[in-house]
Amino acid sequence: MKFLTFRGAEGRLHPGVAVDGGVLDLLHPALRLPEPCGCMGWWDLDDPWHQAARRAAAAPPEEAVLPAGSISLQAPVPRPGKFLCIGLNYRDHAEESGMEVPESPVCFSKFGTSVIGPEAPVLLPPGSRQVDYEAELGVVVGRRLRQAMPEEALAGVLGYTCINDVSARDFQFADGQWQRGKSCDTFGPMGPWIVSPDEAGDPQDLAIRFRLNGATLQDSSTSQLIFGVAELLSFLSGFTTLEPGDVIATGTPPGVGFARKPPVFLQDGDLMEVEIENLGVLRNPVRGR
């Protein structure tokens, strides 16, 4: 299944599922779904609303299906409770960055206000001249996980999505830590949807690419991850409780802009595309302020 979020005609955010003929509006009155237990219920595998929504998607009433071209896709998780990221998680990316291959996951976070959806513009922040791209596999949590073993952790995955971990390198390197450089407004594009594990395939064997204005600058596979999805979720849940709707960006392969010779940084008018096998393409233009 492909879970998504779109903005309805009245301006409210709606959860939806991609179905034959368009998008099933999961808030449509024809479905008569129960109220979720808060907005987390949209992404909670065990919430009665989520379970009923899956049943509705199997045989959707025609009046609840909207043409795909009539909706405005948003980030599939518009405001994650936690947006956790992993650095240096591809061996060759650590090497191109001039850093040691980590012995345990390198963790940081992005603020929720960095999140934008497909086609939304990434805004270059004042004061930065070195804004970079990073194509990443995103994991969306679907169950509460605390000190989870790897096998238990995988069973708690709602699905996978494309993420672009946009980074202001001059902020990042000047500060000596990564928060400001990673968390500027619009620096967390994700989407276009969340693909369930059964459709996504093996998360450790997906082709991942980044294109800038049509030119491929990153081309790798998640098979090159140092720490895989199950290991990351187990590690993270060991010190913080993961909840439905939390998002984890698993790291980027080599080919990022600051490591290229000469460096490549984002400019007003650029078009970025993150493509991950079975998950689709996340497109975002770049705009100067």
Element (H, E) at 182: helix 179-183
Same domain, 35 and 93: no
What pLDDT score was predicted for residue 30?
95
Q: Are 218 and 189 in contact (CB under 8 A)?
A: no
**58-102: pLDDT as tens digits:** 999 999 999 998 999 999 999 999 999 999 899 877 777 777 788
Q: Are 248 and 139 in contact (CB under 8 A)?
A: yes
Same domain, 202 and 141: yes
Q: Is residue 203 part of a domain?
A: yes
What pLDDT score was predicted for residue 92?
77
Instruction: Please give the mean pLDDT across all residues of the chain.
Output: 94
Same domain, 91 and 47: no
Same domain, 60 and 164: no
What pLDDT score was predicted for residue 36?
78
Q: Is residue 161 part of a domain?
A: yes
Q: Is residue 78 part of a domain?
A: no
What pLDDT score was predicted for residue 75?
98
Among residues 253, 287, 289, 3, the alpha carbon closest in space to that of 141 is found at: 3
Same domain, 133 and 186: yes
What pLDDT score was predicted for residue 39?
66
Exposure string over 241-271, b if 16+ CB within 10 A, otherwise e = ebbbbbbbbbbbbbbbbbbeeeebbbeeebe
CATH number, domain with residue 145 = 3.90.850.10
**Measured in whole angstroms, how far is the alpha carbon of residue 173 from the centre of its chain?**
24
Same domain, 40 and 140: no
Among residues 157, 166, 160, the alpha carbon closest in space to that of 242 is found at: 157
Q: Fill in the DSSP letter of residue 32.
A: -
Whether 239 has a pLDDT exceeding 80, the answer reads yes
Same domain, 191 and 279: yes
Same domain, 141 and 253: yes
Q: Is residue 182 part of a domain?
A: yes
Q: DSSP states of 209-221 as a string?
A: EEEETTEEEEEEE
What pLDDT score was predicted for residue 187?
98
Whether 11 has a pLDDT exceeding 90, the answer reads no
Q: How many folded domains does the chain comprise?
A: 2
Q: Is 231 exposed, middle or buried (0-12, 13-18, 19+ CB in 10 A)?
A: middle
Residue 70: Cβ within 10 Å count: 10
Same domain, 159 and 232: yes
**16-68: pLDDT as tens digits:** 999 998 999 999 999 999 877 766 788 999 999 999 999 999 999 999 999 99
| Peptide linkage before 263 cis (omega within 30 of 0) | no
Domain that holds residue 211: 83-288
**101-128: pLDDT as tens digits:** 889 999 999 999 999 999 999 999 999 9
In the chain, the amino acid numbered 180 is R
Same domain, 63 and 118: no
Q: Is residue 7 part of a domain?
A: yes
Distances (CA, A) of 261 to 6, 8, 167: 40, 45, 18
The domain boundary residue, chosen from 22, 41, 73: 73
In the chain, the amino acid numbered 36 is P
